[in-house]
Amino acid sequence: MWSFAKRRLLPALVLVIIGGVAGAQLHSYVSPDDAIDQFKKLKQAFVLISGKYVEPVSAGNLAESGVKGMLNDLDPHSTYIPAKEAKRTRDRYRGSFGGIGIRFDILNDTARVVSPLAGGPSEEAGIMAGDRIVKIEDSTAIGLSNTGIRKRLTGKIGTEVTFTVYRPLSEKNFTFTIERGEIPLYSVHSSYMIDERTGYIDVGRFAKSTPEEFLSKVDTLKTEGMERLVVDLRGNPGGVMESAVKIADEMLGTAGQTIVETKGRSARINQTLRAQGGGALAGQPITVLVDGNSASASEILAGALQDHDRGLLVGRRTFGKGLVQKPYRLNDGSFLQLTVGRYYTPVGRLIQTPYEKGNMKQYYKDKFANRRDAIYNVSKYKESIPDSLTYTTEHGRTVFGGGGILPDYVVKPDTTSLSGFLRRSEVDRLFALAAREWFSQHDKQLRSTWQGRKQEFLSTYEVPDEAVSSFWSYVQDNGVLTLTTTPDSVDAGDQVYLKANADDAHALVRPHLKGFLANTLFGRGAGRPLLNRVDPAVQKAMTLWPSSKELAGYHASAGAVQND
């Protein structure tokens, strides 16, 4: 009964202890007598600790610890959001916030403007990529963290903020006073035509604005000749479920098709969301890229397309986060992000990876243990799934439950060679960091040469040998891998590779560095076309269009299917 009591008490606990709730309100949360007795015990313990403990204690900290302790005994994804973080969390889901409109990173303890957002207050005021933020209002900005810079620059829409930048190109300081505006948090990171027929859209997360962004990109790509589409959901942690449902609806051409089902204790949670029909992408061949960091709303979209045989999934098994969560506001402005239900795909698969309440350590241990089989030994992984978790799609294909969505085609990374190591998606972050370090040393030269010349940079810039050497030094200095001249010392398991093979890997290093340099110069997503040329999942997907077209053929009545 203890776990039962906690589930019923979560939204009420802090309200009663700190602010007080009338007896009638309390009974609406906790009706069983045992639950009320357990609540009284919690209240007594709080009063005793706050009043009798040998040293003074913070009532707020004590209440927060109690809430977090209760959540720890539930599922892996119910969370507590402190009041100071609540606004930023809401902004992320809403898709906009009040700010000055820049992308920045921290380099050598100083915030550097990566790019002003198009049409935002900073672009209109004349802020330039490469500017260093050295002062905000009357205080230095040097040494502040990402969070510190963000807190001081963002604020209520319509208010002003004054800050000073150092501009390396002119070696001068400039002071700006900018009125904060509503800044969109774009969730579509990149879109372009891979070839004359194939569009590509990278959806980084799902916010309320995502469907509008997505459809805008689709319209643009169609004008450029798009006949088939790659949707990249790799690394997408989810977000607003309704946005994923709307995008699925644009691909499922038949009205009434189930997109996702939610089940919980409340009748209001039990619902089936269905397609309206006649979407913008009905009938076009679609390939969806997923990986182990595709979660929640990403899995809803991927699962719906797979169950209806609508799109071909390529990559790696998704994360397995299929819990319906609802925010409950507490009296101090903090929130409980509380699990109230579970997501199921159209054929009945539970997206959530199994878990034992309160045992988070074992949950993640089991999750990552079978993830390896789902990547490197797919046949063994499928054989380990019981018949009760084996399902049949709308047109007779076999799909699997047990947590996450297993793609139709698994792209297994090469773990035996240096080039294979560099192709792993986890290494992308290393290229980004190495490119940023190189950029910091050549910032003025690169910007003076390439500022405002994105297409020329992408087509003509050659990464110098010095930058490639800098990359090898960076990954070795940071303990990522070791290059050896002794063949007997090679050990791929410990990331020890033959130095002579580094030359063969330059064909991978150069486009990666150039891609991330493009992101630094021109904004996030600018280098994606370059990166995709050496991305194993993208390259494999481009060979699988016959399978995607076959699936699209099942939905031909909803829209024209293109010929090969």
List alpha helices for 359-505, DSSP H. Answer: 360-376, 378-384, 418-423, 428-441, 443-450, 454-460, 465-477
d(CA 303, CA 347): 9
Which residue out of 91, 131, 291, 307 is catalytically annotated? Answer: 307
Q: List the structure tokens of 50.
A: 């706050």
Among the listed residues 299, 306, 313, the one whose alpha carbon sits nearest the alpha carbon of residue 392? 306
| CA triple 23-28-31, angle to 5 deg | 90
The amino acid at 550:
E
Q: List the structure tokens of 298.
A: 């990403």
Q: Are strands 228-232 and 258-264 parallel, antiparallel or unpaired?
A: unpaired
Q: Which helix (H) or strand (E) holds 323?
A: strand 323-329
Which residue out of 78, 296, 419, 425 is catalytically annotated? Answer: 296
Sequence-distant (6+) residues with CB within 8 A of 426 are none
Q: List the structure tokens of 293.
A: 């960091």
- Helix-strand-coil split of the chain, %, nearest 5: 45, 20, 35
d(CA 535, CA 3): 46
Q: Which helix (H) or strand (E) holds 297?
A: helix 297-307
List alpha helices for 83-142, DSSP H. Answer: 83-94, 121-125
Partner residues linked to 164 by β-bridges? 135, 175
Sequence-distant (6+) residues with CB within 8 A of 165 are 113, 127, 131, 132, 133, 134, 173, 174, 175, 176
Which residue out of 6, 217, 246, 321 is catalytically annotated? Answer: 321
Among the listed residues 109, 168, 179, 171, the one whose alpha carbon sits nearest the alpha carbon of residue 140? 109
> Annotated catalytic, 296?
yes
Q: List the structure tokens of 366.
A: 């089991």
The catalytic residues are 296, 307, 321
